[in-house]
Structure 1
Amino acid sequence: MLELAATVGIRGGSEMAAVPTEAPIASVSVELTEALSVGLARPLFLIALPLGVLAIWALLFHGAEGTASERSRRLLFAARVLVVALVVLGAAGPYTVQSRETAGEPTVTLLVDRSDSMAVSPDVSNRLESSIESEGVSVRRVPVGTNDTSPVGDAVAANLREGGEVVLLSDGRVTSGQPLGEATALARSVNATVSVVSPDPRTTERYVTVAGPDKASRGVENRFAARIDGVGPNTSATLTVRVDGEQVAERTTETVPTTVEFNHTFNSTGSHTVTAEIDALDRFSENDVYRKTVRVVEQPEILYVSPGEYPYRDYLGQLYDVDTAEEVPEDLSEYYAVVVQDAPADSVGNVDHLQEFVIEGGGLVVVGGQNSFERGGYEGSNLASMLPVTVGEGQRSATNIVLAVDVSGSAEEGMRIQKATALSVLDQLGDENEVGLVGFNFQAYRVASVEPLSENRGELRDKIRRLRSGGATDIAAGVRGGGELLGDRRGTVILVSDGHDSPDEAAAVASGLADRGIRVVTVGAGERINERTLRTIAGAGGGSYFRATETTQLGILFGSAGAPGASGLVVLDRTHFVTSGVTLTASPDSFNDVSVRSGASFLVAGENGQPALATWRYGLGRVATVTAHGEDGTLDGLLREPDSLLLTRTTNYAVGDPERKATGVVGVPDTRVGESTSVTYRGTERPEAADVSFQRVGEETYRASLTPDEAGYYEVLNATYAANYPREYAAFGPDPALRTLVEGTGGEEYTVAQGQRIARAAAQRSVGVRPVRTDWTWLPILFGLLLFTIEVSYRRLQVRRRNRPADGGLP
């Protein structure tokens, strides 16, 4: 066949990827086996063969004279034709291409992070490079980042080669460009590996941050937390916190992290500042001050509707501007939310206006008791149609469930825990469900089809016990595999994993499944768990995240009799705004008989699985139901700390944005130097401000983007926002994302002293099966000359032996 280019595969010592070999365009070749082909580099020279044969025939037979016999002429003709054929074959350039294991030229691509966050760690790049090169392996050094910019993800992506490897000398703190998760996905797509060297910090560095509400109500106490963190040897640091320039806290400490909590009540509306500053002897001064702004608004107006007098009304009055009524009036325009407590459906008032109020963005909280829900005629009423629960305990409905268990290499250390967790999850699922099993590493494997659990529980337990670990981690593959096993059925994928992978792709897959009616629940299990990843995936998939110790709570969601061993209230979803960080100690003795609607968020349950708190969106508004109460109809222990935070969060959830009815600047989040923030303005006309250009983004809504280049407080249209130190100085030491990068691409974590090991690994990878071309031009020419010499020598010997002329005059 006509050979335009020859390719043979290579990757490492056994796998193969396309590598071109040189071949003349006019050459021809024939593939004898998968590993061997033969060809001619100059096949046009073969044209000379018939011409040569014709010339020899003419010399020996056409008009030939002499005494030579016919037999002698034929033998000589055959010998001379063979000589000519060998010479012509040599001129045509015979060659072979054979796949052989050969040693390549090993090279290490070393990405060296030069950003400021690496300044707290020793500079080991020269030492590492020398150690690698001492083993005869060349190093291609690529500098990454400078000053406060760390585009580590971009650098990794730019230096990836199909089947290749890079070594990253960095703390992995990405401050610009693509995150490491995207670089991990790209490396997997081209079958490349990324190894890491991340030296531990040796220089003392301290930085400060402040956490707390961005918006607050006037006259309401708020809690803030200032935190000193850092790396390196202990050193004394003094923290000073000021609110609107007035000192409110001071602490001196030598240990990190140290958190100083404080409460503050703002008595005037508008922008307020919270500034935390540390005095410490460390490497950088840029991060010694943290600035935060709090936008204080008037207390949102809330309507409280109840036929009785309950302590919850007084509790709300401490946080909001509360009006009290026995029933809902026609005009609700001044309110942000309506709270209805223990009221029969026929005494609530104008439910049609309440429904319209919620659909247009208002909030609604319905609190149960002895006169509501099943005892208040809610069933079939217009009020009940807005609620995330239905009246009546109801029967538990069966659902389709797929257990997706992580069996990747990153899970290997904790595989015993993974299996135990998966078995625990299985124990919580009721027999009425249909359950299947998927194992996954870099791809998903069907272990058991979706079948009634009442029939295959024992088989599933056995298959979970026999799972084996290995391979790279791709959580997205596990989520996708669970969805594929469910097929067209609605249901739930319960993902059991340590979470060591980028959440981006998996979250996107989970979101797609949620659109199909498939919820994704995540359970953290293993020696080391990346809860952030698992929470992100669960949030995108419309599900919840559970720790391995919380699997009994799955029984409430999927058909068991409750949460064995639990007492009091049980939080089912800690990722939700209402329940995040909430601690519950109360044990209400009564619950209304309700069941949670499909599509609603079941947040808190009683110890026997009774719904206690559920939420959902209704139109543009938010609705919550609290169905746990005391025998006397009050909320009992829920009004005492720390449980009272649950009621505050529930009401805040219903209220939503406390400035949604305001005009002027209603939002300008704090930012960092070099990062943009958006100014949101509501009004009938476009605002005018120096050096700020507003664009219309909605009805009576305008937005502008600002990017500060220095740290400090800034003002725009009488609203203040803070610009803090660059992100480069906000974290030091190896980023946990580095481990995910290494495990996700099959790389290695090296120490500074392992340069020789890096070199040996590179040399080993360079050994592979490669196409080796051998030119055989010399061989046929050599044989031709040898044959010609033998033939001539034989005829001369015959002449001497017989003492006669050379064979009758043959040429």
Structure 2
Amino acid sequence: MNISLEHPEMLLLIIPVTIAGFYLLRKTKTKIVEWRMLVAFLLILALAAPFTTVTQTVNEDNPSLVLIQDKTSSMGLFSNETGNDLYKALAADTSTTLVQLTGDKTNLGDAVTQYSGTGNQIVLITDGNNNSGKSLVDALGFAKETNTSVYLVEPELKTNDLSVEIHGDKSVIVDNPNEFDIVVRQASNQSVSYSYEAYVDGELSQSGDVTQNSTQYTISPNLRHTFSTLGAHNISVKITPSGEDLSSINNKFYKSVYVIPKPKLTLVTGEPNSPLAQILNKLYNTSVFTTYPGASALNSSKTLALDNQFADNLTETQVKEIRKYVTNGGGLVVVGGERAYNYGNYLNSSFEKILPVISRPSEYKGGRNLVLILDVSPSTTAHKTQGDILGNAIYILQNENLKDANAEIIAFGSKGYDVSGGFVFLGLAQNQATLKDKIEKLAPDEESKTSLDAGLNISKEMLTGKEGELDAIIISDGAIEDSYKPSLQAAKELQKLGVNLYFIHIRSVAPSQIDKSRNYYAEMFMKELGLEKNYFHINMSERANIVFKSTDKSQEEENEEEKETEENATSDYSLYVYSPNSFITKDVNLTSNITGYNDVTPKAGAERLVITTSNGKPVLTTWRFGLGRVAAFTTDNGQGDGSRWATNVYNGSSARLISSMINWAIANPRAEEGTVVDSPDTWLGTPSNLTLTMYDEGIPQLKLDGNALDLALTGKNTYETNVNPNSIGIHDISGYPLAVNYPLEYRDVGLNEDIEPLVLSTGGKIYNEKDARALLLKDARQNSVKQSDEQVSLKVYVLLTALVLYLGEILARRIREMRKLKNTQG
């Protein structure tokens, strides 16, 4: 039993009591002082209010439920009776409150937040598409924090519906090529056919017939257009389904485009005709200098590009100017070569402090340590997945790119244990054969428990202190709910060690027969770790295709690599997008090689975007510096004073990396002069936030379709207002375009499966209508059995002890006195 004190500071009173007690002991030398000191100590302890925490189990046979029924417009695709029938069934047996959401907006997150933490359990009958108010991710996270179980009842889809949307930039640069994605969604995942027509400024630009077999599809090729005139333009697309389609309101989409002059760019280079310079001159209003032109040249420039420049070419004053320019919001792109970075005296210079990299070779630790964590719990026998778990493990060990790896096999059921006896080098055929034999002999655990955390904890012990590439692969049937929380904590500890974690989840039955509660625990596990891309859900007899990059490197090869780096050898290095979701790389199809690079190391806080595949050397690294953005492109300009390291990068689809890198550094391409309006396209019924920036003196005046707008001053020379046109189409804000499309409620059609792991994380479950009637109340009763920690005060017991001691001392003293008196009288 753990005992705590509510007022521990009261224990300080022991000091004066102790001093007084010892003083009296020296004076009187009687035991009564010791008794009284002990009583005083107990009284002080009572003042400190000791308590212990007792865990109590609370069980509700009739839990309170809040049934939130989504009856907004998007629910017209589903059965209308699901919510009503379920409410009647639940209300007959337990306290149930019905909440209905209606209209053209779904505030599902607000409703979940409102009823979380109130002692209720929440039942959602919805398609899961939340489009207004608090996000559903945050709302279900709050429900989890407040121990509110949330159940999801997925209604039955009755009819199909299609919607279309255009993705792309609103502000585009004149005479530059642009690409726009046409995205089509459908409520079901059946095969549907439709035709489409895309218009630019009212003229047909692209059309075709499409057959779609998924819930979301991006039409290929995407819409490409170069705008040759400044100002307002518009794009529209219309789809015409050939089959079932509930509503036509979401079959047409408008996008407004505002074409601006080419942003100003300053390029400092010794090779004004390089492939880099040619791209920059074509896409931007580029001023080219052979030496740094000074701060005055940067006043109207959006970005400064330094191409293959010695650090010694910049004086300390000029470095301070560049630092100030970037800190105040300017962009900086530093391109490598034989006079830059490790060849240009950047190391430990004042200029290097601005950059996201350090100009010394990045450390290569080499090798790979791989742990396979295999599920041998009884459920793998019941689900008939044991053979596939072991088969996938053997398949992974045979991967050609693991020939230099050290592998460890760990099995888990009720406990975790080491199968391989430590790490085994896979470069020897006999070692692979030995591991295969050990894996094939694994048998299911006899105890009915799946303790994934036990396997993960052993993995942590084995990987702690290891260098190189660290990988751990869980292969399981996904039935990990009993050990979910400790397993999640163990996995997070592995992540802190730098371990790449994968989960191969073997589906044991047909998708229609899957118990979703079990099916989604594995996926939820990886999502909570932020590793959705490392989650593989495969059928029995299938093999997961985890891609391992080769790290095979002998000492001789390492020495040769160092030599090649020093001599700038012309070997080919394939490029790999390391961070595919960044602004720069998300739409880049990088297919080129380079023959050289500057060897640098990313700083803490920098983002490595592009690397070489053979040795992981950074080629493009970025970070924010003050209000500005800095990109370190550590290969050359494509000409390289004859060395030509990166010529291929500036050709074909790879060239988009260069424009994307510059656009990222520029951030806001619009000139900071005159009057600048910004108002994003919106949906009918959803206001668009309009911002007006006045760079010139004057009174701000804007009109929406000829009607004056009221503007509020919100900052220096900055005005804002909300605009909310009441009709679909392209609207005019004093020459600036604004597109208003169908209500957002009609964009996302069908079931949103992304919320299912979030629902399960609250302790709830997912049902269809039939299963909800049979199982939901039973599960709610089980979830109402909760343990609560309550404080139990121990003060009264301390006081009683003090009283007993005090009375006992008095009684003992009186007995002694009476005996002494009796002896005297006798």
Q: TM-score, normalised by structure 1?
A: 0.64
Q: Which residue of 2 aligns with 1:524?
A: 533
Instruction: Indicate how the Cα distance of structure 1 residues 362 and 752 shifts in structure 2: closer, same or farther if over 3 A, else same.
Output: same
In structure 2, C-alpha distance between the alignment counterparts of 1:224 and 1:595, rounded to whole Å: 36
Aligned ranges for residues 283-682 of structure 1 at < 5 Å?
283-308=246-271, 309-330=273-294, 331-332=296-297, 333-347=299-313, 350-393=318-361, 395=363, 447=457, 469-471=480-482, 478=489, 482=493, 522=531, 524-528=533-537, 549=546, 552=549, 568-606=574-612, 607-629=614-636, 632-633=643-644, 635-682=646-693
| 1:613-657 deviation per Cα after TM superposition (whole angstroms, max 9, x unaligned) | 111223322221222346723521101122111111111122221
**How far off its partner does 1:504 sit?**
14
Q: 2:170 aligns with which of 205, 214, 234?
A: 214
Answer yes or no: is the 8 Å Cα contact 1:164–1:191 preserved in 2.
Answer: no
**How far off its partner does 1:267 sit?**
1.1
Q: 2:182 aligns with which of 193, 204, 226?
A: 226
In structure 2, C-alpha distance between the alignment counterparts of 1:465 and 1:109, rounded to whole Å: 38
**How far off its partner does 1:213 sit?**
1.7
Query: Is 1:120 aligned to residue 77 of structure 2?
Result: yes
In structure 2, C-alpha distance between the alignment counterparts of 1:200 and 1:212, rounded to whole Å: 34
* Percentage identity across paired residues of the two chains: 24
**How far off its partner does 1:212 sit?**
1.5
**SS at 1:199's partner residue?**
coil
**SS at 1:638's partner residue?**
helix
Q: 1:740 aligns with which of 757, 764, 773?
A: 757
In structure 1, C-alpha distance between the alignment counterparts of 2:674 and 2:552, rounded to whole Å: 48
Answer yes or no: is the 8 Å Cα contact 2:336–2:633 preserved in 1.
Answer: yes
In structure 2, C-alpha distance between the alignment counterparts of 1:193 and 1:555, rounded to whole Å: 49
| 1:328-352 deviation per Cα after TM superposition (whole angstroms, max 9, x unaligned) | 1122223211222223334468545
Q: Which residue of 1 aligns with 2:437?
A: none
Q: Which residue of 2 aligns with 1:193?
A: 149
Q: Which residue of 1 aligns with 2:745?
A: 728
**How far off its partner does 1:222 sit?**
0.6
In structure 2, C-alpha distance between the alignment counterparts of 1:676 and 1:162, rounded to whole Å: 33
**How far off its partner does 1:105 sit?**
5.2
Q: Which residue of 2 aligns with 1:250?
A: 207
**SS at 1:287's partner residue?**
helix
Q: 1:167 aligns with which of 123, 126, 148?
A: 123
In structure 2, C-alpha distance between the alignment counterparts of 1:699 and 1:101, rounded to whole Å: 58
In structure 1, C-alpha distance between the alignment counterparts of 2:395 and 2:748, rounded to whole Å: 33
| 1:183-234 deviation per Cα after TM superposition (whole angstroms, max 9, x unaligned) | 3233334433222221342313121111122221101111112233223576
Instruction: Indicate how the Cα distance of structure 1 residues 200 and 612 shifts in structure 2: closer, same or farther if over 3 A, else same.
Output: same
Answer yes or no: is the 8 Å Cα contact 2:143–2:762 preserved in 1.
Answer: yes
Query: Is 1:687 aligned to residue 700 of structure 2?
Result: yes
What is the root-mean-square deviation in Å for CA atoms of aligned residues? Answer: 5.2
Q: Which residue of 1 aligns with 2:769?
A: 752
In structure 1, C-alpha distance between the alignment counterparts of 2:263 and 2:345, rounded to whole Å: 31
Q: Which residue of 2 aligns with 1:780?
A: none
In structure 1, C-alpha distance between the alignment counterparts of 2:580 and 2:352, rounded to whole Å: 26
Answer yes or no: is the 8 Å Cα contact 1:406–1:497 preserved in 2.
Answer: no
Answer yes or no: is the 8 Å Cα contact 1:241–1:249 preserved in 2.
Answer: yes
Q: Which residue of 2 aligns with 1:791?
A: none
In structure 2, C-alpha distance between the alignment counterparts of 1:421 and 1:185, rounded to whole Å: 38
**How far off its partner does 1:298 sit?**
0.5
Instruction: Indicate how the Cα distance of structure 1 residues 712 and 469 shifts in structure 2: closer, same or farther if over 3 A, else same.
Output: same
Q: In structure 2, what residue type is equivalent to 1:288?
A: N
**How far off its partner does 1:167 sit?**
3.2
Answer yes or no: is the 8 Å Cα contact 1:342–1:633 preserved in 2.
Answer: no
**How far off its partner does 1:130 sit?**
9.0
Instruction: Indicate how the Cα distance of structure 1 residues 595 and 102 shifts in structure 2: closer, same or farther if over 3 A, else same.
Output: closer
Q: Which entry has the higher C-alpha Rg, 1 or 2? A: 1
**How far off its partner does 1:739 sit?**
1.1
Instruction: Indicate how the Cα distance of structure 1 residues 221 and 150 shifts in structure 2: closer, same or farther if over 3 A, else same.
Output: same
Aligned ranges for residues 46-85 of structure 1 at < 5 Å?
none
In structure 2, C-alpha distance between the alignment counterparts of 1:159 and 1:199, rounded to whole Å: 22
In structure 2, C-alpha distance between the alignment counterparts of 1:355 and 1:761, rounded to whole Å: 65
In structure 2, C-alpha distance between the alignment counterparts of 1:477 and 1:183, rounded to whole Å: 21
**How far off its partner does 1:100 sit?**
13
Instruction: Indicate how the Cα distance of structure 1 residues 117 and 345 shifts in structure 2: closer, same or farther if over 3 A, else same.
Output: same
Answer yes or no: is the 8 Å Cα contact 1:447–1:463 preserved in 2.
Answer: no
| 1:43-72 deviation per Cα after TM superposition (whole angstroms, max 9, x unaligned) | xxxxxxxxxxxxxxxxxxxxxxxxxxxxxx
Answer yes or no: is the 8 Å Cα contact 2:365–2:467 preserved in 1.
Answer: no
Instruction: Indicate how the Cα distance of structure 1 residues 228 and 101 shifts in structure 2: closer, same or farther if over 3 A, else same.
Output: closer
**SS at 1:384's partner residue?**
helix
Instruction: Indicate how the Cα distance of structure 1 residues 219 and 106 shifts in structure 2: closer, same or farther if over 3 A, else same.
Output: closer
Q: Which residue of 2 aligns with 1:51?
A: none
In structure 1, C-alpha distance between the alignment counterparts of 2:250 and 2:337, rounded to whole Å: 52
Instruction: Indicate how the Cα distance of structure 1 residues 453 and 283 shifts in structure 2: closer, same or farther if over 3 A, else same.
Output: closer
**SS at 2:342's partner residue?**
helix
In structure 1, C-alpha distance between the alignment counterparts of 2:683 and 2:155, rounded to whole Å: 27
Q: In structure 2, what residue type is equivalent to 1:743?
A: L
**SS at 1:608's partner residue?**
coil
Instruction: Indicate how the Cα distance of structure 1 residues 583 and 175 shifts in structure 2: closer, same or farther if over 3 A, else same.
Output: same
Instruction: Indicate how the Cα distance of structure 1 residues 551 and 214 shifts in structure 2: closer, same or farther if over 3 A, else same.
Output: farther
Instruction: Indicate how the Cα distance of structure 1 residues 634 and 492 shifts in structure 2: closer, same or farther if over 3 A, else same.
Output: closer
**SS at 1:591's partner residue?**
coil
Instruction: Indicate how the Cα distance of structure 1 residues 718 and 202 shifts in structure 2: closer, same or farther if over 3 A, else same.
Output: same
**SS at 1:590's partner residue?**
coil
Instruction: Indicate how the Cα distance of structure 1 residues 456 and 470 shifts in structure 2: closer, same or farther if over 3 A, else same.
Output: farther
**How far off its partner does 1:737 sit?**
3.3
Q: Bigger CA drift: 705-714 or 632-641? A: 705-714
Q: In structure 2, what residue type is equivalent to 1:310?
A: S
Q: In structure 1, what residue type is equivalent to 2:700?
A: P
**SS at 1:568's partner residue?**
strand
Instruction: Indicate how the Cα distance of structure 1 residues 764 and 382 shifts in structure 2: closer, same or farther if over 3 A, else same.
Output: closer
Q: In structure 2, what residue type is equivalent to 1:326?
A: T
Q: 1:707 aligns with which of 696, 720, 724?
A: 724
**SS at 2:102's partner residue?**
strand
Q: TM-score, normalised by structure 2?
A: 0.63
**SS at 1:276's partner residue?**
strand
Answer yes or no: is the 8 Å Cα contact 2:77–2:159 preserved in 1.
Answer: yes
Q: In structure 1, what residue type is equivalent to 2:346?
A: Y
| 1:695-735 deviation per Cα after TM superposition (whole angstroms, max 9, x unaligned) | 33333222222233432222223211112211110011111
Q: How many residues are paired up?
A: 619
**How far off its partner does 1:325 sit?**
1.5
| More helix as a share of residues | 2
Q: Which residue of 2 aligns with 1:807?
A: none
Instruction: Indicate how the Cα distance of structure 1 residues 763 and 682 shifts in structure 2: closer, same or farther if over 3 A, else same.
Output: closer
Q: In structure 2, what residue type is equivalent to 1:633?
A: R
Q: In structure 1, what residue type is equivalent to 2:727?
A: E
Answer yes or no: is the 8 Å Cα contact 1:107–1:137 preserved in 2.
Answer: no
**SS at 1:612's partner residue?**
strand
Answer yes or no: is the 8 Å Cα contact 1:181–1:502 preserved in 2.
Answer: no
**How far off its partner does 1:278 sit?**
2.6
Q: 2:107 aligns with which of 128, 147, 151?
A: 151
**How far off its partner does 1:670 sit?**
0.9
